[in-house]
Structure formats: C-alpha cells, structure tokens
A and B are shown apart, each in its own frame.
Chain A
Amino acid sequence: DSGVTQTPKHLITATGQRVTLRCSPRSGDLSVYWYQQSLDQGLQFLIQYYNGEERAKGNILERFSAQQFPDLHSELNLSSLELGDSALYFCASSVGGGVNTGELFFGEGSRLTVL
C-alpha cells in the first residue's frame, strides 16, 4: 500500500461527457502528479502540483484541467471526452520542494473507458 488513494477505480462514460478523478496523496507529501497510461503506451506526464500551485505541465490537453486543494488532495477534470481518452490515469505523490530525486509513490490508478 503506497498510501496514495485514487477514486474511482473504474469509470465508464460516453463521448462528450465530463468526469472528475480524485487523488489523496500520502500523508505529509506536498507534491501531486498526474500521469496517463494508454494502451501499449508508457506513462505520459500530464501535470504536477506542489502545495496547491501548479509546478510543471506536460502533454495535457486543453480539455483536461487539474487542481490541488488546501487539504492537498487533487482532482483531474476531463471534459468533452473522446474515445482516445480511454486510459489508466495514475496519481503519484512525493514530499517535494527539495532535491528532485524522482522517487514517487503511485496510487492504483483510475481506469477510464469512454464508449
């Protein structure tokens, strides 16, 4: 158990809809990351927050947005969903703020299926 909690674990929705994925980081971790893993693809970095502020942005579509709340949990919002958005979405956390050693703690992921 990494200590990172993601909900929901599975989500099935239709094209054009909007969904919200939620992540609670490990206790004490200030950084939250979102990654997307599509079929046969690696982990694509989407966005990272540190203590409520956006810190780094990767290949995140304009239809996607995220935020980190004062209690440090984070939400990833996916809108105008397309078939190609079907993927596993991982949240990870780290203490953050200091030397970047790259050690992240991942949740179990949220599997999104768009029909």
Chain B
Amino acid sequence: DQQVKQNSPSLSVQEGRISILNCDYTNSMFDYFLWYKKYPAEGPTFLISISSIKDKNEDGRFTVFLNKSAKHLSLHIVPSQPGDSAVYFCAASAFASYDKVIFGPGTSLSVIP
C-alpha cells in the first residue's frame, strides 16, 4: 500500500523553464509534506516543506503547492537550472505518528542546458 505516490519516474526540462513535479497521497492523517532532493552518491537533503494548514510555501526558486481536497501536492522550480538535475522525493508525516516519515518513489529531473 503506497501512501505517497509520484507517478512520473522522470522529467526533462529546458534550462530557464519551469519544472513541475507532482505527488499524490492517500492518507488524510498526514499533516506535513516535504520535498527532498538527492544527488547520486549522496543522501537525500531536505528542500522545502508545507504544513497542511497552508496551500502554498515559497523559498526562492522553489514553491510547493498543496491541494488537500485532491490529496495532491506539487513542486515548482522556476527557473530551472542544470544544477537542479537530481532525484526529487516527496514525503509526508503525521503529528500523531511520532516521527514516522513516508517517502514516495522519486522523480528524476534532468534540466537540459
């Protein structure tokens, strides 16, 4: 039972354009949603998060949108840069589950110069 889904295994975008990565979840108990970025041979690193009481959170070129009714979130990267090429994991957590964090399968983003 996959509680966090990322249906696009890969995405290619031209440098300077917008990258949109999507994520769906099934568990309505999730309170926090996060995006992690992973380069080859490195561990994932936290990128941006959003609480379930918000519908948008912005940090520089990165914006996360949350649609609770659709159980959907997306990460927008504008403008995309070659250094953004990495695997992006969507993750979710619930306050009531102590510290359990569930990750999606990841989307590999390639930004083409």
Are B43 and A56 interface neighbours, CB within 8 A? no
A35 to B101, CA, bound (A): 10
Secondary structure at the A interface, as helix, strand, loop or mixed, is: loop
A2 and B43 form a contact (CB under 8 A)? yes
Q: B46 to A103, Cβ gap below 8 A?
A: yes
Specify the chain A residue showing the minimal Cβ separation from B2.
Answer: A42
**Residues of B contacting A55 with CB < 8 Å?**
98-100
Give the residues in chain B near A31, CB-CB below 8 Å: 99
Q: Write the nearest CB–CB distance from B33 to chain A, whole angstroms.
A: 8
Task: Check: A96 CB closer than 8 A to any chain B CB.
Answer: yes
Against B, the Cβ 8 Å flags (1 = close, 0 = not) of A30-53 are 010101000011111100101000
Contact mask for chain B residues 27-54; partner A; CB cutoff 8 A; 1 contact, 0 none: 0000111101000011111100100000
Contact of A102 among B41, B45, B92, B106 (CB under 8 A): B92
Contacting pair B100 A35 (CB below 8 A): no
What's the Cα separation between A101 and B31 when bound, in Å?
Answer: 8
Q: Assess the A99–B43 pair: CB atoms within 8 A.
A: no
Q: Within 8 Å of chain A (Cβ to Cβ): is B89?
A: yes
- Interface residue count for B (Cβ, 8 Å)? 30
Q: Which of B31, B97, B101, B104 contacts A42 (CB 8 A)?
A: B104
Task: Please state if B95 and A35 are interface contacts (CB–CB under 8 Å).
Answer: no
Given contact pairs A56-B98, A100-B97, A101-B93, A42 touches B45 in the complex (Cβ within 8 A):
no
Instruction: Determine if A102 and B43 form an interchain contact, defined as CB atoms under 8 angstroms apart.
Output: no
Distance A106 CA – B45 CA, assembled complex (angstroms) = 7
B13 contacts the other chain (Cβ, under 8 Å)? Answer: no
Complex Cα spacing A52 to B46, Å: 25
Residue numbers of A with Cβ under 8 A of B are: 2, 4, 31, 33, 35, 40-45, 48, 50, 55-56, 58, 90, 92, 94, 96-97, 99-109
Task: List, sorted by A's number, 10 A–B pairs whose CB atoms are closer than 8 Å.
Answer: A41-B105, A42-B89, A42-B104, A42-B106, A90-B44, A100-B95, A100-B98, A102-B32, A103-B46, A108-B43
